[in-house]
Amino acid sequence: MIEIKDLKKSYGERTVIDGLSLRIEKGEKVALMAPSGCGKTTLLRLISGLERAEGGQIDSEASVCFLFQEPRLFPQFTVLQNVKAVLTGKDKQKKALAALKEVGLEGEEGKYPHELSGGMAQRAVLARALVTGRQIFLLDEPFKGLDEQAKRELFALCRKALAQKTVLLVTHDEEEARAVCQRLLRFGKGMTLEEDLAL
């Protein structure tokens, strides 16, 4: 569960989030849609702790995992090494290989990020996120720039792999929202909630 109360964030004079309150239930998959520059990504960054809010409160019951727009894999390390990088403790190799198998990257472990297609890179990123065991997934337009085929495969994968997770998906595309989420929140300027739809 994520509970946001009266959240405020501005960059200099520009107010990006002006008193947002929101509640996301455990296991819920919510799409966030808003015009560009309204603060969707900022909201995810605040929830993940990458940025600090000026006011308000964010409570989450579990630790969060951020999937950025770009894959952000370490370019000098293999897919397997990238997944292992976020692991601690024993059986790192085993856990990483299992996660890569889960996302359909079995046999691609030894490849470097530049050898992967956009869809494969996002799968690797998903494997890296899944292996952490975190329960809340913040997805910042992860399907952007992918071709239709790769998108559809990733939709299916997200539905399966994130079935038990709480998901917040930032998107501009309603089709993406429908493919992954059960709830759609539309925001206007200052991240004021305009529409709360069940999908």
Partner 1 sequence: MTLSTIRNKPKKKWIAPILTLGAVLFWIGIWWLAAEQIDKAWVLPTPAQVFKALFSTITVKKALPILLSSLWGIFKGYLWGGGLGLLLAALTARIYPLHLLFSPLLTVVKATPIASFILILWVFFTNSAVPAYAVMLIVLPIIWANTEAGFGNTDEKLSEMARAYDLSLIKRIWYLYIPSAYPFFKSAAVTALGMAWKAGIAAEVFCTPDGTVGKMIAHAKRDIETAELFAWTILVVAVCFLFEKLLAALLSLPERKGRVKK
Distance CA 76, CA 168 (A): 30
Q: Which residues bind partner 1 (CB under 8 A)?
A: 48, 50, 65-66, 68, 70, 72, 74-78, 85-86, 88, 112, 128, 132
If the CB atoms of residues 68 and 155 are measured against partner 1, the closer one turns out to be 68
β-strand pairing of 55-60 with 193-198 = unpaired
Tell me the closest approach of the beta carbon of residue 189 to partner 1, in angstroms.
26
Please identify, using beta-carbon distances, which residue of 65 and 184 lies nearer to partner 1.
Answer: 65
Residue closer to partner 1 by CB (options 51, 174) is 51
* 84 closest CA partner among 137, 124, 138, 140: 124
Closest distance to partner 1 from the beta carbon of 124 (Å): 13
HSE-CB at 178 with a 13 A cutoff on CA atoms is: 4
CB of 123 to partner 1, least distance (A): 16
> How many Å apart are CA 41 and CA 43, to the nearest integer?
5
What is the SS3 assignment for 123?
A: helix
Tell me how far, at minimum, the Cβ of 22 lies from partner 1, in Å.
21
Give the separation between CA 129 and CA 117, rounded to whole angstroms: 18
Of 65 and 158, which CB lies nearer to partner 1 in the complex structure? Answer: 65
